[in-house]
Amino acid sequence: MAETSRVRRGRGLRWEGVPIRRYKDDPSLFKEVQRQVLLGEGEGEQALSFVVRYFEVGAGGYSTLEHHEHPHAVIVLRGRGSVRLDNETTDIAPFDCVYVAPGTVHQFRGDRGETLGFLCVVDRVRDRPQALQ
């Protein structure tokens, strides 16, 4: 299939034709998280070696506490919260950038009373996360 350049229109923090997906299969490991895959998995996007995703962690919510061997590049767009990187927790806010190095235990939390929204860029080909309890 031929690659086709295009614009995917945003409407606030939602994008045309991009469904909101379940974050993970086991809801006991996270709370109030949803995701949208913006670029990298769509038809005609095979040339991209990365995937751009948008996550929202609701107020009081949290992502899975996990680690894996691929890096993440995260840019906060909405709200305030915190990120755990190994044994250190840091407050994050709009326009903060987070680098999650391979092997780092990490978790994003909407623990400041508002929804935390962020872009997350990962390699298209990557290992599966290992959840911690």
| Active-site residue set | 120
Which residues in 5-115 belong to E strands, given as ranges? 10-11, 14-15, 21-22, 31-39, 50-62, 66-67, 72-78, 81-85, 88-92, 97-100, 106-109
Give CA–CA dist 55/69, Å, rounded. 20
CB 17 within 8 A of CB 44: no
Token pair 């999650």 is found at 100
H or E stretch covering 76: strand 72-78
Distance of alpha carbon 116 from alpha carbon 56, whole angstroms? 6
